[in-house]
């Protein structure tokens, strides 16, 4: 009886167990289905997402984590297996085709070889020898490239030195390739480059060897691949800066994708990276030509590039679209203050058209100068991608990626704008490019807006002449501020420790003999005023007599204005004294804005030269000696400096950094340097004093 009841009980429990198992399997199936759905949407859930999934499905967080890891592994295995099958089939097909071609070639002979088997065998032997030689050369270049990418600088030099000694094609000329380019300058105003370096830059070394050219080509191709990944990838490779919400590289993610070597031996490096995009009013092909012409390049970026040169054209590229163009270039960049050291780069610029309407321009640093063992700045793959939108418009995405030796300390007035990607960041490059594109449109416009002239400039030729003269003026002014590479006179400290830097420079004006010397004096100092207020102050003709000691002691008036872009603050003015004097001089002035600073640049011009320019005559011989003001919005560095010295940081939390610069011609060849120094030093000292006095008196701009 007990056994029967046990049997009955067992038979009665079996359906319940089976139902439980079905319910359990159905529950697992539902969980798996939901996990598959989530996996199709996101392969890599973060910690918060994994916790939410575990809660929803009644699982442990670790179970969810391991399930996604296993599923990703399975997915990769499936994909690899499918790819292998495809490649296996393709390999089999190619192998069969190769066998068929070999069998066919055995019975084919050219007309010259048809006379006999001996000639045929001799030709084959020569081809085998040539093929072996080519393979050996290819392996040698590959080994050199591996050394270049992986070995340290000292190892690379020893390796290439041994190759130079053993090369059957003759010795290498110049130095081996090495990462880096330098700015060997200091705040004391000493010469930045030795006489040997200057001579090498003006007279480039002998032609680059085939091995070096091949290495440069390989490096540029690798740099292009890296640049495209940087341009086409967002998070986690790029993150938003806490300073201005601009995109900067996430270094840990970057180094996982692109391992790199340390270019600064026994020193720490600071990385500056940024990415930005913008629509520009210029044809894509025209913009490509700007990048591949060093003169146009420097002309399009006058506030950033103070000097540019194409050292050697390694590949011209296609005449139609410049595909494959490869240039070895030199570039010097500056922040437009004597207190900031310029940056120098020797780099390869590579142009490639990746689609019918898309070009990519890649820059990557290279050491070209022989005696540059310690570079202080190095450009990792940087550049832009240019997308042709229409016949007059293109879309440009730009990446800047630079490593700087932290031994080169930036002056505290400029530390924030340099270290925070404001001075050399992608946004500034694109904004300056946008401003110059708008300027080019203004030059080529077929009409003269009535609000731009005031009855003085009445012809298209006159407007183009004034814009050309003004552009030459601002280029000369920006170039003169780079004093670190010039022969400087002793410096002088004026009131309140405003440092005045004075420099002797060769005259660049075509209307004057080349033997003439110009004297440039500049000083930078901080004011607790917003940059916009100062910009408006210096542009105002009514208040000009309050500070300008060069030529406007009396009241002046603006008699003409030409717009140079869409921003109302970007324009060229012609300023004339209300009561003309015997000097017969007017002032040409250009005002403009960019993300870094605002600029007011001016030069006295003989009134007869101005009239000829307005009439459309050649302006290349007009004498111009530009002076100007550079105004930067800045306050964080000063605030921190005040705090560290016990000052009141709250009252000086925000402000502007002013750079005032003069350029005059030495009176005669017999004038001594000290006499000229005394004159220009007194001029700039008096100007600074007048500026501060005027700001004290102005109720809207009181210090």
Residue 401 has pLDDT above 90, yes or no: yes
Distances (CA, A) of 5 to 17, 73, 279: 18, 52, 87
Residue 223 has pLDDT above 60, yes or no: yes
At residue 702, the pLDDT reads 55
Q: Which residues pair with 345 in a beta bridge?
A: 331
Residue 620 has pLDDT above 70, yes or no: yes
Determine if the peptide bond prior to 236 is cis (ω within 30°): yes
DSSP assignment of 667-695 equals S-TT--HHHHHHHHHHHHHHHHHHHHHHH
> What is the rounded distance in angstroms from the CA atom of residue 97 to the CA atom of residue 103?
10
Residue, of 606 and 160, whose pLDDT is higher: 606
The residue whose two tokens read 């200091």 is 186
Residue, of 339 and 22, whose pLDDT is higher: 339
Residue 327 has pLDDT above 90, yes or no: yes
> What is the rounded distance in angstroms from the CA atom of residue 543 to the CA atom of residue 383?
43
Find how far residue 287's CA is from the centre of its chain.
Answer: 15
Residue 104: CB partners within 8 Å, gap ≥ 6?
none
Token pair belonging to 458? 């009445």
User: Where residue 578 falls among pLDDT bands split at 50, 70, 90?
Assistant: confident
At residue 114, the pLDDT reads 53
Q: How many alpha carbons lie under 13 Å from residue 28 in its C-beta half-sphere?
A: 7
Q: Tell me the backbone φ, ψ of residue 368, rounded to 5 degrees.
A: -105, -30
Residue 377 has pLDDT above 50, yes or no: yes
CA dihedral 672, 478, 561, 664 (to 10 degrees): 0
Q: Tell me the backbone φ, ψ of residue 137, rounded to 5 degrees.
A: -65, -40
Distances (CA, A) of 386 to 38, 219, 286, 382, 422: 37, 21, 11, 13, 22
- Answer for the pair 551, 570: CB distance below 8 angstroms, yes or no: no
> What is the rounded distance in angstroms from the CA atom of residue 703 to the CA atom of residue 699?
9
Q: By three-state DSSP, how is residue 631 classified?
A: strand
> What is the rounded distance in angstroms from the CA atom of residue 159 to the CA atom of residue 151?
10
- Answer for the pair 524, 658: CB distance below 8 angstroms, yes or no: yes
Lowest mean pLDDT among 138-147, 237-246, 307-316, 454-463: 138-147
- Answer for the pair 457, 463: CB distance below 8 angstroms, yes or no: yes
Token pair belonging to 477? 């002014």
Lowest mean pLDDT among 72-76, 678-682, 690-694, 695-699: 695-699
From 553, 556, 610, select the one nearest 578 (Cα to Cα).
556
CA dihedral 67, 73, 77, 79 (to 10 degrees): 90
Residue 197 has pLDDT above 50, yes or no: no
Residue 212: CB partners within 8 Å, gap ≥ 6?
172, 176, 177
Token pair belonging to 427? 């946004």
> What is the rounded distance in angstroms from the CA atom of residue 310 to the CA atom of residue 435?
24
Q: Name the helix (H) or strand (E) containing 563.
A: strand 556-563
At residue 226, the pLDDT reads 92
Token pair belonging to 505? 């420079």
> What is the rounded distance in angstroms from the CA atom of residue 417 to the CA atom of residue 596?
8
Residue 9 has pLDDT above 80, yes or no: no
Contacts for 183-186 with beta carbons within 8 Å, 24 or more apart?
A: 183/341, 183/342, 183/343, 183/344, 183/376, 183/377, 183/408, 183/484, 184/372, 184/374, 184/376, 185/341, 185/342, 185/484, 185/485, 186/341
* Average confidence score pLDDT of the chain: 76
Q: Pairing mode, if any, of strands 499-506 and 487-488?
A: antiparallel
Residue, of 299 and 411, whose pLDDT is higher: 299
> What is the rounded distance in angstroms from the CA atom of residue 597 to the CA atom of residue 416?
13
Q: Which residues pair with 665 in a beta bridge?
A: 518
Mean pLDDT of 84-112: 81
Q: By three-state DSSP, how is residue 512 classified?
A: coil
At residue 628, the pLDDT reads 93
Token pair belonging to 604? 């006295």
Residue 277: CB partners within 8 Å, gap ≥ 6?
395, 396, 397, 398, 430
User: Where residue 636 falls among pLDDT bands split at 50, 70, 90?
Assistant: very low
At residue 521, the pLDDT reads 87
> What is the rounded distance in angstroms from the CA atom of residue 74 to the CA atom of residue 96?
33
- Answer for the pair 487, 504: CB distance below 8 angstroms, yes or no: yes
Distances (CA, A) of 636 to 417, 529, 609: 10, 13, 45
Radius of gyration of the chain (CA): 34
Mean pLDDT of 281-288: 93
Distances (CA, A) of 24 to 20, 29, 57, 145, 424: 6, 9, 13, 60, 63
Q: How many alpha carbons lie under 13 Å from residue 158 in its C-beta half-sphere?
A: 5
At residue 595, the pLDDT reads 76
Considering 13-22, 149-158, 511-520, 582-591, the range whose residues carry the highest mean pLDDT is 582-591
Q: Pairing mode, if any, of strands 394-405 and 269-280?
A: antiparallel
Q: By three-state DSSP, how is residue 257 classified?
A: helix
From 353, 343, 476, select the one nearest 402 (Cα to Cα).
343
DSSP assignment of 434-480 equals HHHHHHHHHHH-SS--GGGTTTS--SHHHHHHHHHHHHHHHHHHHHH
DSSP 497: G
> What is the rounded distance in angstroms from the CA atom of residue 410 to the CA atom of residue 426?
20
> What is the rounded distance in angstroms from the CA atom of residue 646 to the CA atom of residue 184?
34
């Amino acid at each position: 009886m007990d056994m029967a009841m046990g049997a009955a009980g067992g038979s009665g429990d079996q359906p319940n167990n089976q139902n439980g198992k079905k319910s359990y399997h159905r529950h697992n199936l539902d969980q798996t289905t939901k996990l598959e759905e989530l996996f199709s949407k996101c392969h890599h859930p973060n910690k918060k997402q994994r916790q939410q999934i575990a809660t929803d499905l009644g699982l442990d967080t670790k179970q969810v984590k391991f399930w996604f890891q296993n599923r990703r592994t399975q997915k990769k295995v499936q994909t690899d297996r499918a790819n292998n099958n495809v490649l296996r089939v393709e390999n089999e097909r190619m192998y069969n085709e190769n066998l068929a071609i070999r069998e066919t070639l055995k019975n084919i002979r050219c007309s010259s070889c048809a006379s006999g088997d001996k000639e045929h065998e001799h030709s084959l032997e020569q081809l085998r020898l040539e093929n072996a030689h080519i393979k050996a050369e290819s392996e040698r270049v590959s080994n050199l490239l591996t050394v270049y990418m992986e070995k340290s600088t000292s190892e690379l030099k020893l390796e290439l030195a041994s190759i130079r000694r053993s090369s059957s094609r003759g010795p290498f000329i110049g130095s081996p390739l090495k990462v880096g380019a330098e700015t060997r300058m200091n705040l004391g105003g000493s010469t930045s480059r030795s006489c040997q370096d200057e001579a090498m830059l003006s007279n480039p070394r002998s032609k680059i060897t085939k091995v070096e050219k091949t290495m440069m080509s390989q490096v540029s191709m690798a740099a292009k691949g890296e640049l495209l990944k940087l341009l086409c990838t967002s998070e986690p490779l790029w993150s938003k800066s806490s300073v201005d919400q601009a995109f900067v590289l996430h270094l840990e993610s970057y180094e996982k994708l692109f391992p790199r070597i340390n270019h600064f031996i026994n020193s720490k490096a600071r990385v500056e990276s940024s990415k930005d995009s913008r629509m520009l009013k210029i044809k894509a092909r025209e913009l490509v030509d700007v990048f591949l012409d060093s003169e146009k390049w420097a002309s399009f970026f006058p506030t950033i590039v103070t000097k540019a040169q194409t050292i050697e054209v390694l590949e011209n590229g296609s005449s139609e679209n410049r595909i494959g163009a490869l240039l070895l270039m030199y570039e010097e960049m500056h922040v437009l203050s004597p207190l900031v050291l310029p940056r120098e780069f020797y780099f390869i610029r590579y142009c490639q058209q990746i689609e019918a309407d898309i070009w990519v321009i890649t820059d990557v640093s290279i050491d070209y100068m022989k005696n540059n063992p310690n570079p202080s700045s190095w450009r990792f793959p940087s550049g832009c991608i240019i997308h042709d939108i229409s016949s007059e418009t293109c879309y440009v995405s730009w990446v800047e990626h630079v490593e700087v030796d932290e031994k080169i300390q930036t002056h505290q007035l400029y530390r924030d704008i340099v270290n925070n990607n404001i001075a050399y960041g992608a946004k500034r490059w694109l904004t300056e490019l946008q401003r110059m594109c708008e300027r080019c449109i203004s030059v080529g416009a077929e009409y003269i807006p009535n609000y731009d002239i005031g009855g003085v400039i009445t012809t298209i030729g006159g407007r183009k002449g004034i814009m050309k003269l003004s552009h030459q003026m601002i280029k000369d002014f920006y170039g003169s501020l780079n004093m670190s590479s010039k022969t400087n006179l002793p410096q002088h400290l004026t009131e309140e420790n405003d440092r005045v830097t004075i420099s002797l420079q060769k005259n660049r004006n075509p209307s004057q003999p080349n033997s003439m010397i110009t004297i440039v004096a500049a000083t930078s100092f901080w004011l607790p005023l917003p940059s916009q207020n100062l910009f408006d102050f210096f542009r105002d003709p009514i208040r000009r007599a309050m500070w300008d000691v060069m030529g406007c002691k009396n009241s002046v008036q603006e008699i003409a204005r030409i717009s140079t872009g869409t921003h109302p603050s970007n324009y060229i003015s012609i300023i004339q004294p209300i009561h003309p004097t015997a000097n017969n001089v007017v002032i040409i002035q250009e005002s403009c804005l960019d993300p870094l600073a605002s600029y007011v640049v001016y030069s006295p011009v003989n009134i007869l030269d101005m009239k000829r320019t307005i009439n459309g005559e050649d302006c290349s011989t007009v004498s111009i000696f530009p002076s100007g003001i550079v105004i930067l919005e800045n306050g964080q560095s000063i605030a921190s400096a005040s705090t560290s010295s016990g000052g009141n940081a709250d009252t000086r939390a925000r402000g502007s950094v002013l750079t005032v610069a003069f350029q005059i011609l030495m009176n005669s060849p017999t004038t001594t340097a000290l006499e000229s120094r005394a004159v220009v030093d007194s001029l700039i000292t008096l100007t600074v004093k007048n500026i501060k006095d005027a700001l004290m008196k102005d109720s809207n701009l009181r210090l």
